[in-house]
Structure 1
């Protein structure tokens, strides 16, 4: 079991790591955007990611015969957007798009501009999607609602909502938004983010409007997506039979080396030993023991391939994130020539573990 700790310190070339990275990229949580051109899909993506340069068509790559996909962030992707290009084609077949969006935590977002009651192409596509029966999570986003008078807004939103719900056969949750008002303000964005977070918890991690307690916390936000990416890779490794025991510590080690480079500190056995000691005397033993037990459980016929693998993936995702969060705090203070108390380190590790739990579950299901 202590081989895991050795790999934790010094990552080696390991083909299983590449398998985990590839697996994670294949099963990224996907938001499938269904809407007419000009409905506000680019604005929605910018709102979710906080990146004003992201646009539908800019950076999107062919994914299926009729759709393009964009993974964000580009270098360490955590979320994929799927945009249907063949929506207006009479012979549009959504089967491939459904397969892509349903590979992991998925959601279908119908983007409907309030002033456009003509939604025939969207409705025709929705009929085919409904017939397939694979999509369970769905949200209607009514856009540009404040470009109309109050009476017109109520009337047009209600009309579009009713015709889409009639097609789907059930009530569909919805939000009303306006991404750009005349005074440069917005409308309904917080409600939109709340609704999207319920569909895919990872979206909450893109919220750049959080208030940070101090410089260290603010600095972590800049590295958060990278830590989450490594966490996703560790979870993916544990979802692949007979890979986790070797790959998870190696992935975590690569994360620690990468973070150390960004904080400008040397990451060696001494630094690693100091870091581990701040997490408590039993951390290393517990880490190695739990990792070994998780891999043994995965070998149990039937149970290990379902419940065992799923549980192991959640634990590896969450623990990798917590290790990364704690490491950032340790490295920040070390780069300043400061010390940090063991209690503070253990508290931040435990808090990170608890706060990422729901995200870990949704990312590894």
Structure 2
């Protein structure tokens, strides 16, 4: 059984792997940003990603006739921002933008500067979007709120909020933020991140503000985006008919080899066998059998192409992330000539599966 698992983690070259990578990169969860120029869209992206260099138009690529897209991180993307540029055009038709967003787990963020009550272009766009009935999640982000004096701040925010709710026909959740105060500080950015993480759980995983309880954990945080990208690609592989059986192990193998390079660990057959051994004697059988069963379930007419594929994608995403997490711990200690107990590795694997469950569901839905 260990020999067969070694083959799963060291497969021959398979073109379906690149197919899975491509599918994942074109189906990223997307935050669709609507707002006038200068409303704070670039600042919002910078606050979420920590990339101070990104600007709307800089690093963005054409997505539709009226929109541009920015994927983050650039080389191993986990999240996409869509900026619609045609709001000021009288004949703006959001249908193509909506189609792009509707194919993915997404949310619509309306970015509005508190001190600007004239929002007719944005209101017209919302009217058209409302008619499409495709947007399930929406959030109004009122920016630059602290640029107003205290007694004007609430009035300005409520005026704009009521304009949008009147168009939407319902209450809309909102936040008040300021990306740049006079002293160089910010206002309510943690609350913004928390709210966006409710809409797209992957955002919480991208946060670099986590408290690291050990050097090993701090080191993993540097590689976490890469592990999540491989996990997303593995989940995507199970969304493609007849691909998951070979592509998922292939993607996991590439991840492990990449991580081994990061830790300067020789990833040979002996290392693979040792690593598998730390996961327990039952891991090999469970891995191989569950992978095969998932592929067979997907062959069931109707059920297999919907619920079966969705379930398989979640499991592949979660297991790939968990394998990546424990591999980082294993390789960290191996690079230092240290031993790590099987019990510790197995506990970390179970915890990683539990921690990533909600992200996996959202990413593969």
Q: Same fold (TM over 0.5)?
A: yes
How many Å separate the matches in 1 of 2:147 and 2:29? 32
Please give the residue correspondences for 1:236-275 in structure 2 after superposition, counting only pairs within 5 Å.
236-275=236-275
- TM alignment of 1:66-215, pairs within 5 A: 66-215=66-215
Verify: 1:315 aligned to 2:342, yes or no.
Answer: no
* CA displacement at 1:4 relative to structure 2: 6.3
**Counterpart-to-counterpart distance in 1, 2:238 and 2:75:** 22
TM (normalized to structure 2)?
Answer: 0.98
Measured in 2, the distance between the counterparts of 1:90 and 1:249 equals 50
In 2, the alpha carbon distance for the partners of 1:91 and 1:133 equals 19
Give the match for residue 22 of structure 2. Answer: 22
Tell me the CA shift for residue 6 of structure 1.
3.7
CA distance in 1, matches of 2:341, 2:2: 26
SS of alignment partner, residue 152 of structure 2: helix
Aligned-residue offset at 1:152: 0.8
Q: Is the 8 A contact 1:66 1:85 kept in 2?
A: yes
Name the SS of the counterpart of 1:11 in structure 2.
coil
Measured in 2, the distance between the counterparts of 1:231 and 1:7 equals 19
Q: Deviations over 1:272-315 (max 9, x none)?
A: 11111111111111100110111111111111111111000000
**Retained in 2: the 8 A contact 1:2–1:288?**
no
Return the alpha-carbon distance in structure 1 between the equivalents of residues 311 and 340 of structure 2.
32
2 CA distance for matches of 1:2 and 1:65?
Answer: 52
1-structure distance, mates of 2:108, 2:2 = 45
CA distance in 2 between partners of 1:230 and 1:96 (Å): 29
Question: Aligned pair in 2 of structure 1 residues 4, 237: CA closer, same or farther (>3 Å)?
Answer: farther
- The 1-side partners of 2:108 and 2:94 are apart by 12
1:232-276 deviation per Cα after TM superposition (whole angstroms, max 9, x unaligned): 000000111111001000000000000000110100111111111
| Deviation for aligned residue 1:182 | 1.3
CA contact (8 A) 2:234 2:247 kept: yes
Whole-angstrom CA distance in 1 between matches of 2:184 and 2:263: 37
CA contact (8 A) 1:9 1:268 kept: no
Counterpart CA distance in 2 for 1:81 and 1:201 is: 15
Aligned-pair CA distance for 1:35: 0.2
State the alpha-carbon separation in 1 of the partners of residues 7 and 306 from structure 2: 27
Map residues 33-44 of structure 1 onto 2, 5 A cutoff.
33-44=33-44
CA–CA distance in structure 2, aligned partners of residues 23 and 288 of structure 1: 24
Q: Is the 8 A contact 2:234 2:248 kept in 1?
A: yes
1:46-57 matches, within 5 Å, as 46-57=46-57
Does structure 1 retain, via aligned residues, the 8 Å contact 2:2–2:273? no
Instruction: Please give the alpha-carbon distance, in whole angstroms, between the structure 2 residues aligned to 1:347 and 1:282.
Output: 14
What is the CA deviation profile of residues 333-354 of structure 1, one whole-angstrom value per residue up to 9, with x for unaligned ones?
Answer: 0111111111110111111100
CA drift of 1:40 comes to 0.4
The runs of 5 or more residues in structure 1 that have no matched partner are none
Task: Report deviation, 1:318.
Answer: 0.2
Q: Distance in 1 between matches of 2:113 and 2:153?
A: 11
